């Protein structure tokens, strides 16, 4: 556990963010390993199938991800206020919720997969592969939920290192199983899905065993767990707008596939590769924003608003430099990066074009996420949700469609930086109002 209410703000946020960043690098390696091995050894149809599956997965788990964010902030604020009794209640409450949420998502995912693929006009040669991948993936989603719940709780307690160790372990298992199931057993795309499910199950079970024996606040026993409705409502108030926002972010990815898919399997595969590379490039912004949210939560819980402002400015400076570096690397090596996933020249050409346009504006994406981190940490998630929905559905998707009709497939990519720019302007304008400071769960008398 880590108390973020004392010490140099920038150093605390950096040290807290780096283990999360490394952990997410390894978590993304789950997906990237699947895509690289599938693309190289099965084919571009399978590559498009794996890539097309993730917006559906993201859509169905996004609400629970949002509530997990709410749980992190609730725990962070209680921990900052040194209210250990409510910290323990919150941990039990969110574990119970995620268990039942995983069951619901499993059923929905299996039933809805094929209709969604047909709705977004996925090429016919890709649909059977994508459906098989999703059915296997959702059959083990409960392990992913369990592990991510543990990670969210530990972050609220200021511990970003423990999840890293389990992610490294499970990622290594995933890559080994990918190679075994695909190259040796010849299971095809099913092998990639089973490798992911098994490795996540190992990560979750190992984390439960370790934490039950070593952690002073987390002791998972279903006989002793208690669901606190008041704490859940607080987490829901914070997390539901985040989850609702994430659901429509995921649906916007499906809408983008609906725009991309008419250009053919090569375009769909290239877009899938581009998103994989984007997921790596965007990780510093997302993880520093999560670190900042925990920092803000603990410091507002401890009634130290001046540290919030200092932490925000430090995070902006750090992530600005990182995003510039990511832009330079991505532009210089864009062809080589796409080539990691496929040998198809046309897919490489389309994917490199995507990276050239989108990566040039990573600094906008980074700024947008960091500003949002302040609001999430305070518990103010409603206005940021409306801003995100506006920039996605009234700017990005329409702009991408319009540009595609006039400039072809390269026009699709320009909708993204346009939306990011407006998102930064609107998020920062709301930050300047200071209204987010009034949303803290832990309240202090005026003047304290």
- C-alpha span between 78 and 82 (Å, rounded): 6
Degrees, nearest 5: CA angle 354-355-360: 115
Is 422 among the domain residues?
A: yes
Is 446 among the domain residues?
A: no
Is 330 among the domain residues?
A: yes
Q: Write down the pLDDT at residue 50.
A: 83
pTM for the model stands at 0.72
- C-alpha span between 12 and 205 (Å, rounded): 30
Low-confidence ranges of the chain (pLDDT < 50): 446-448
Asked whether the beta carbons of 362 and 284 are under 8 A apart, the reply is no
Q: Write down the pLDDT at residue 35.
A: 78
- C-alpha span between 403 and 412 (Å, rounded): 6
- C-alpha span between 46 and 129 (Å, rounded): 6
Q: Write down the pLDDT at residue 448.
A: 43
- C-alpha span between 339 and 344 (Å, rounded): 8
Instruction: Please compute, for residue 306, the number of CA atoms within 13 A of its CA located in the half-sphere on the CB side.
Output: 3
* Tokens 């940490």, located at residue: 377
Is 444 among the domain residues?
A: no
Q: What is the DSSP letter of 395?
A: I
Is 403 among the domain residues?
A: yes
Owning domain of residue 200: 9-439
Cα Rg of the chain (Å, integer): 21
Is 199 among the domain residues?
A: yes
Question: At residue 24, what are phi and psi to the nearest 5 degrees?
Answer: -70, -30
Q: What is the DSSP letter of 419?
A: H
Look at the chain and report how many structural domains it folds into. 1
Q: Write down the pLDDT at residue 444.
A: 52
Is 4 among the domain residues?
A: no
Is 1 among the domain residues?
A: no
Asked whether the beta carbons of 206 and 199 are under 8 A apart, the reply is no
- C-alpha span between 37 and 187 (Å, rounded): 12
Q: Write down the pLDDT at residue 446.
A: 47
Asked whether the beta carbons of 299 and 5 are under 8 A apart, the reply is yes
């Amino acid at each position: 556990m880590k108390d973020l209410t004392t010490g140099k703000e920038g150093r605390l946020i950096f040290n807290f963010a780096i283990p999360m960043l490394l952990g997410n690098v390894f978590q993304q390696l789950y997906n990237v390993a699947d895509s690289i091995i599938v693309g190289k050894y099965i084919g571009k149809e399978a590559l498009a199938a794996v890539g097309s599956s993730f917006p559906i997965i993201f859509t169905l788990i996004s609400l629970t991800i949002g509530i997990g964010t709410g749980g992190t902030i609730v725990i962070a604020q209680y921990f900052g206020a040194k209210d250990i009794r409510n910290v323990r209640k919150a941990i039990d409450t969110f574990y119970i919720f995620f268990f039942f949420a995983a069951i619901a998502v499993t059923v929905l995912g299996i039933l809805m997969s094929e209709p969604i693929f047909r709705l977004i006009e996925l090429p016919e040669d890709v649909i059977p592969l994508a459906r098989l991948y999703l059915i296997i993936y959702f059959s083990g989603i409960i392990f992913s939920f369990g592990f991510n719940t543990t990670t969210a709780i530990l972050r609220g307690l200021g511990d970003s290192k423990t999840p890293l160790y389990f992610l490294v372990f499970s990622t290594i298992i995933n890559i080994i199983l990918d190679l075994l199931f695909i190259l040796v057993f010849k299971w095809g795309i099913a092998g990639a899905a089973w490798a992911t499910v098994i490795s996540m199950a190992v990560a979750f079970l190992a984390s439960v065993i370790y934490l039950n024996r070593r952690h002073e606040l987390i002791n998972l026993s279903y006989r002793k767990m208690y669901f606190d409705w008041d704490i859940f409502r607080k987490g829901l108030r914070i997390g539901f707008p985040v989850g609702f926002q994430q659901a429509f972010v995921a649906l916007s990815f499906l809408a983008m596939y609906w725009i991309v898919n008419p250009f053919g399997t090569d375009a769909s595969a290239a877009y899938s590769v581009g998103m994989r590379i984007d997921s790596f490039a965007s990780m510093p912004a997302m993880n520093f924003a999560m670190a900042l949210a925990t920092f803000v939560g603990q410091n507002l819980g401890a009634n130290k608003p001046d540290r919030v402002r200092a932490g925000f400015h430090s995070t902006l400076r750090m992530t600005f430099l990182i995003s510039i570096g990511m832009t330079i690397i991505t532009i210089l090596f864009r062809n080589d990066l796409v080539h990691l996933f496929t040998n198809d020249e046309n897919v490489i050409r389309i994917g490199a074009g995507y990276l050239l346009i989108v990566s040039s504006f990573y600094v906008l994406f980074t700024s947008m996420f960091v500003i949002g981190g302040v609001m999430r940490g305070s518990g103010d998630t409603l206005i940021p949700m409306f801003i995100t929905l506006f920039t996605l559905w009234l700017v990005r998707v329409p702009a991408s469609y319009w540009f595609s009709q006039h400039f072809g497939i390269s026009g699709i990519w320009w909708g993204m930086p346009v939306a990011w720019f407006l998102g930064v302007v609107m998020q920062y304008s709301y930050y300047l109002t200071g209204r987010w400071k009034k949303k803290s769960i832990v309240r202090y008398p005026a003047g304290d």
